[in-house]
Structure 1
Amino acid sequence: MMLTEETAVAASALPVAEFRAHLRLGTGFADVGAEDASLESYLRAAMAAIEGRTAKALLARDFVLSLEAWRDAVEQTLPVAPVSAVTEVRLVDAAEVFTVIAPERYRLVEDLQRPRLAAVGGVLPAISAGGVAEVRFTAGFGPVWADLPADLAQAVFLLAAQYYEHRAEGAGWREMPFGVAALIERWRTVRVLGGRG
């Protein structure tokens, strides 16, 4: 199984100005935007850390999941949530010839913890030996920062602020700060039985 992010979060979707205000950085200077690139990188790093801990895509973007075999013949769990749409399912054989599966043969089972691709009226299409199935989908709470739940947005700010404050220390600390961990705890996906039903 391999999950690939096909589109990145646009810089315009990141709340750099709000994060600057959160840090209480000065305003009104000629070079007020000089730090914006580094503030953006701290926000992206904090988002990545929180997404990794929660298995949630915070801002909407496109992914492709490549599988050599379905986990279950009837449905396949998707590794991140929330998923708003499955845009394409295709089979790629060993010769790299692909076949797009008709959308009528599958459906998205929306779930905040374990979204699934489910077969309609039967089983998921067979994956040939040496081939893969590619599932393209869109995941995230929404395209803009305001779509995030308040606790996750606050957790990103707190963690990004921690990265900013300790930027000169490098990897001096390894643990998630308690306040951030408390905010994201309810969003964490508990994985039992290897992700099976």
Structure 2
Amino acid sequence: MMLIEEAALAADALPIAELAEYLRLGSGFDLVDDAAENAALAGFLRAAIATIEARTGKVLLTRRFRMQLDDWRDRLGQTLPLAPVLSVDRIEIDDGNGTVTELPVENWRLVPDLQRPTILPAGVILPHVPRRGMVTITFTAGFGQAWSNVPGDLAQAVLMLASRYYEDRGFDGSRSGVPHGVSALIDRWRQIRTLAGRGSREAR
């Protein structure tokens, strides 16, 4: 499986002001409000968001992804590795010889789920993927466009982790890993990850 994020988070979607306020209140930092400092805070936020998303499988701010598989994990239904999924924009099958076919939307449906959103066939099974082919699923996932749409415990976990990254800048990384307080906040959002592809390849 290959999972590609089609667009990076826009800087204006990041909670830079919230992180600056958190640092002032939590650690007594006297921050300089300038472009360079804001760019640094944005970097720490991006790193913290990426870590939280990787550990929970939840997309905090809405954006589009493209998943490529060499075959369906299960032709009875294909789970998606991220949640919440707002829409599946298209599904395409490449036959490996240069022909790409988009599956008609009436041939499948998305079953939304906060843990394992799934694409189900309209019929019995999902269509055959040729041996040298691949299937590409383009989908949009996230809690919302604005930081206020992110659940409170996940938002707090991001601020705490970004603050740790800010405090640790320039050090040797001896305090690597996610702090216990952050782990406690995200624990209920964790999911048991399953493979997204390579499960149903038949001998042909």
Question: What range describes the TM-score normalised by the shorter chain of this pair?
Answer: over 0.9
Give the Cα separation in 1 of the matches to 2:132 and 2:49.
35
Give the TM-score of the pair, scaled to structure 2: 0.89
Give the Cα separation in 2 of the matches to 1:43 and 1:143.
16
Counterpart of 1:78 (choices 69, 77, 80) is 80
Give the TM-score of the pair, scaled to structure 1: 0.92
Instruction: Note if contact 2:59-2:84 (Cα within 8 Å) is conserved in structure 1.
Output: yes
| Secondary structure, counterpart of 1:182 in structure 2 | helix
The alignment covers a number of residue pairs equal to 193
Could you list the per-position Cα deviations for residues 62-92 of structure 1 after superposition, in whole angstroms to 9, with x for gaps in the alignment?
Answer: 0011111111112101011110100000101
Q: Which residue of 2 aligns with 1:21?
A: 21
Q: Which residue of 1 aligns with 2:95?
A: 93
Q: Which residue of 2 aligns with 1:67?
A: 69
Please report how far the alpha carbon of residue 33 of structure 1 lies from its aligned counterpart in structure 2 after TM superposition: 3.4
Aligned structure 1 segments of 4 or more residues deviating by more than 2 angstroms: 31-34
Please report how far the alpha carbon of residue 93 of structure 1 lies from its aligned counterpart in structure 2 after TM superposition: 1.6
Instruction: Note if contact 2:81-2:193 (Cα within 8 Å) is conserved in structure 1.
Output: no
Give the Cα separation in 2 of the matches to 1:123 and 1:160.
44
Q: Which residue of 1 aligns with 2:47?
A: 45
Instruction: Note if contact 1:26-1:32 (Cα within 8 Å) is conserved in structure 2.
Output: no
The 10-residue stretch of structure 1 (159-168 or 5-14) with the greater mean CA deviation from structure 2? 5-14
> 5+ residue gaps in structure 2?
200-204
Give the Cα separation in 2 of the matches to 1:89 and 1:139.
15
